[in-house]
Amino acid sequence: MAEIYKLIHPVKYFNDYISRDIRPDGRKFHEQRNIKVNVNSLKTAEASAVVKCGNTTVVCGVQLELATPKAEEPELGFLVTNVELTPLCSSKYRPGPPSDNAQVQSYMLSDIFSNSKCIDLKDLCIVPDKLAWVVYCDIVCLDNDGSLVDACIIALMASLKTLSLPTVTYDPETEEIKVDPDVRTPLKVDGCPVATSFAVYKLTERNILLTDPSAYEEEMCGGLGAHFTVCLNKGLICGNHKFGGSHLLMENQEEVLKIAKERANLVVKVIDSCIKNEKSIDK
């Protein structure tokens, strides 16, 4: 019965739930979905992480390559992040080159990441002007059920925190490169940016914020993707993207910052405990 109602009167169906202070999936407005993190499950990648936030599933794989640094920035290495929205994660996506939406998600992720400055690109340089690491981080979405950027950032940070670089010896005269993959130094990661997404829904005169929205909720609030993403790193805001959705009032923003702070602490704990567990298993 409910399914038919949902099909015929999509807006009314959603309104009925929201006006009773509950969301269609049974969550409260500020309740988040469960987060599951698993690191190093893929052996072909240097470091990897699988993250599930509710139904949203993303996999991040890191690969290492060597290249000469750019002439204008001889002391910097490279870190390339890309988000891939595969056609299998939702019927909205078709095979082929990345859609506009995928590019927006990719940009948001790399913007948040570079703003947070949690990785110093100088650490990725081996010999200035000659040799530097290229860290390719590919984040693949297997199931898109909303709040994609949140999950992507968690996956990216979890895999970077487990990444270690092999030692490289470079002979400046012969330009010979030797790599010893057995002796590794872990990559320095400073802080951990955590993104929190909100969908903004306007119910008559009330502005309602839905934390960690699902794909259905994002759609009902209008437009693609979450509307408001706040990213915190060590208590500082390092990314703030709001577009589409309903307009925001001042008091909404204070509310948002409070929730984002709580969530940032929680996520950092989840990632750290997951990595610790993994290490204890290895030993």
Partner 1 sequence: MGAEEKDLRDFKLQPMKCELNFLSKSDGSAILSQGDTVALVSVNGPLDIKSTSQSIEKSTLEILFCSKGGKPSVADRYKENVIRQTCEKAVLGCLYPRTGITITIQELEDFGGFLSCALNCACLALLNSGVSLRHVFACVTCGVDEKGEVVLGGRGCDTQISCVFDSIDKTLITCFSEGTYSEGTYLEAVARCRAASELVFAFYRDVVSKYSNAI
Partner 2 sequence: MPLDYRRFNGPEDSVSYKRFTKDYLKSYSELYNNLIDEKGRRKDGRALEEARSMCMFFARTDMVSQAKGSAYIELKKTKAVCSVFDPREIPHQNEFSQLGQLFCEVKFAPFSCPNQRRTHAPDADEKALSVALRQALEPTVCRHLFPNYQIDVFVYILENDGSCLAAAINAAGLALANAAVPMYDIITACSVAVIGEKMFVDPTEAEEHLAMMTPEKEGTNHGIITMSMLSELKQVSDFTQIGSMDTDCVTKAIEILEKECENIVPNIQKVLVLNVVQCIEQRKQLEEEAKEREQALNAKMEEWKQLLNSG
Closest approach, Cβ 230 to partner 1, in A, equals 9
Do the Cβ atoms of 56 and 147 come closer than 8 Å? yes
The continuous run of DSSP H or E covering 164 comes out as strand 164-170
The verdict on 250 binding partner 1 (CB under 8 A) reads yes
The verdict on 219 binding partner 1 (CB under 8 A) reads no
271: nearest Cα among 164, 178, 159: 159
The verdict on 128 binding partner 1 (CB under 8 A) reads no
List binders of partner 2 among 184-223 (CB under 8 A): 215
Nearer to partner 2 among residue 101 and residue 253 (C-beta): 101
Count of residues interacting with partner 1 (CB under 8 A): 31
The verdict on 73 binding partner 1 (CB under 8 A) reads no
Q: For 175-195, give one letter per residue: b (16+ CB within 10 A) or e.
A: eeeeeeeeeeeebeeebbbbb
- Applying CB under 8 A, among 26, 96, 97, 235 the residue interacting with partner 1 is 235
- Applying CB under 8 A, among 31, 171, 175, 180 the residue interacting with partner 2 is 180
Which one of partner 2, partner 1, none interacts with residue 65, CB within 5 to 8 A by kind?
Answer: partner 2
Bridge partner residues of 225 (DSSP):
none
- Applying CB under 8 A, among 239, 264, 270, 274 the residue interacting with partner 1 is 239
Nearer to partner 2 among residue 148 and residue 268 (C-beta): 148
- Applying CB under 8 A, among 75, 223, 266, 277 the residue interacting with partner 1 is 223
The continuous run of DSSP H or E covering 156 comes out as helix 148-162
CA torsion 29-214-162-273 (nearest 10°) is: 40
Nearer to partner 1 among residue 6 and residue 242 (C-beta): 242
Which one of partner 2, partner 1, none interacts with residue 242, CB within 5 to 8 A by kind?
Answer: partner 1
Q: Quick one: which segment of 3-11, 40-48, 185-193, 253-261 binds partner 2 (CB under 8 A)? A: 40-48
Distance between CA atoms of 202 and 208, rounded to whole angstroms?
6
Instruction: Specify the pairing of strand 194-203 against strand 206-211.
Output: antiparallel
Task: Tell me how far the alpha carbon of residue 7 is from its chain's centroid.
Answer: 32
Distance between CA atoms of 38 and 17, rounded to whole angstroms?
34
Do the Cβ atoms of 245 and 146 come closer than 8 Å? no
Backbone φ and ψ for 107, nearest 5 degrees, come out as -65, -45
- Applying CB under 8 A, among 240, 272, 275, 278 the residue interacting with partner 1 is 240
Summarize as ranges the residues that interact with partner 1 (CB under 8 A).
100-101, 103-104, 106-108, 111, 115-117, 223, 228, 233, 235-244, 247-250, 253-254, 257
